[in-house]
Amino acid sequence: MSQNTKNYYLPGPSFWPLIASISLFLLAGGFTMVLNKIAMGTPLMIAGGLALAYLLFGWFKEVIGESVGKLYNQQVDKSFRWGMGWFIFSEVMFFFGFFGALFYTRSVSLPWLADAQLLWPGFAATWPSAGPGLTEAFTPMGPWGLPAINTLLLLTSGATLTWAHWGLMKDNRKQLTIGLILTIALGVLFLYLQMHEYAEAGFTIKTGIYGATFYMLTGFHGLHVTMGAIMLSIILFRVLKGHFNAHDHFGFEAVAWYWHFVDVVWLFLFIFVYWL
């Protein structure tokens, strides 16, 4: 039985953390087995994915019910905001690691290899580098064309989401709904163009350090856009159900924070991966 006092909120006993542990264990274990070509790896990964989907649906349904039921107080709202803030900070550090690897490769390791005369014959210490004997074997991704279009799409999606937020603050449900629909549509279009870009790319993740850093950074960003679009779709569904108002809408705000973070990461990607 959950308890709501003046100073804190104490949720009742829950089996969801146990389901989370089991699902993540199955996913990680199955993935490890797949890498080692063990037969049971794929079924375990599928079971872990299904368990994770069940967890997310059930746990969030329970949390939404608590929120709609007015069980939360100001202390809980503050805790949610701090939690979301630290989560986004952890995501910043996640991408910082990949950007750090890109910087080290371009600005430290390649010049060092050249100075130490440790490069293979025919391998120039210039960026982009694909590896020994592959320097001229591929065309790197340029900044204009699809990357520039995707940048415009994400920046526009940030504006439509902010417009939707203004509608919520003014209790304009129509503006809120249209803004969310536009934001989701722009995110889906971004993902479609990203996949089209991958299909046309003249290199793969195996094309040396350039291919590895390019696909790791853009791939993980695409995963974050996918998760953001799913979360926005859930928020849209809640809006259509009549949830949120001008004074109580942290669920909307949390997803908006996440989406704006994804926008900012893409700007860094466009500048340092595509442009410079």
Instruction: Identify the residue whose tokens are 């700007």.
Output: 267
pLDDT digits (tens, 9 = 90+) for 130-182: 555 454 456 667 778 888 888 899 899 989 999 988 888 888 888 889 999 99
CB burial of residue 274 (10 Å; 0-12, 13-18, 19+): buried
Q: Which of 71, 86, 101 is the last residue of a domain?
A: 71
Residues 58 and 78 in one domain: no
Note the pLDDT of residue 135.
47
Model confidence at 1, in pLDDT bands (50, 70, 90)?
very low
Domain interval for residue 6: 1-71
Share of the chain above pLDDT 90, in %: 18
Inter-helix orientation angle 208-240/250-269, to 10°: 160
Nearest to 243 by CA among 176, 186, 175: 176
- d(C-alpha 234, C-alpha 263), whole Å: 19
Note the pLDDT of residue 248.
73
- d(C-alpha 60, C-alpha 6), whole Å: 24
Domain count, the chain: 2
Is the pLDDT confidence value at 275 over 80?
no
Model confidence at 186, in pLDDT bands (50, 70, 90)?
very high
Is the pLDDT confidence value at 201 over 80?
no
Is the pLDDT confidence value at 6 over 70?
no
Q: Which of 39, 71, 103 is the last residue of a domain?
A: 71
Q: Give this prediction's pTM.
A: 0.80
Residues 27 and 155 in one domain: no
Residues 77 and 103 in one domain: yes
Residues 31 and 84 in one domain: no
Is the pLDDT confidence value at 119 over 60?
no
CB 168 within 8 A of CB 252: yes
Average pLDDT over the chain reads: 81
pLDDT digits (tens, 9 = 90+) for 221-244: 888 899 889 889 988 988 888 888
Number of other CB atoms surrounding residue 10 within 10 Å: 9
Residues 42 and 87 in one domain: no
Residues 105 and 67 in one domain: no
Residues 203 and 268 in one domain: yes
Q: Which of 55, 71, 87 is the last residue of a domain?
A: 71
Note the pLDDT of residue 132.
53
Number of other CB atoms surrounding residue 114 within 10 Å: 14
CATH of the domain at 120: 1.20.120.80
- d(C-alpha 211, C-alpha 190), whole Å: 21
Residues 41 and 164 in one domain: no
| Average pLDDT estimate for 29-39 | 86
Pick the most confident of 57-61, 69-73, 189-193: 189-193
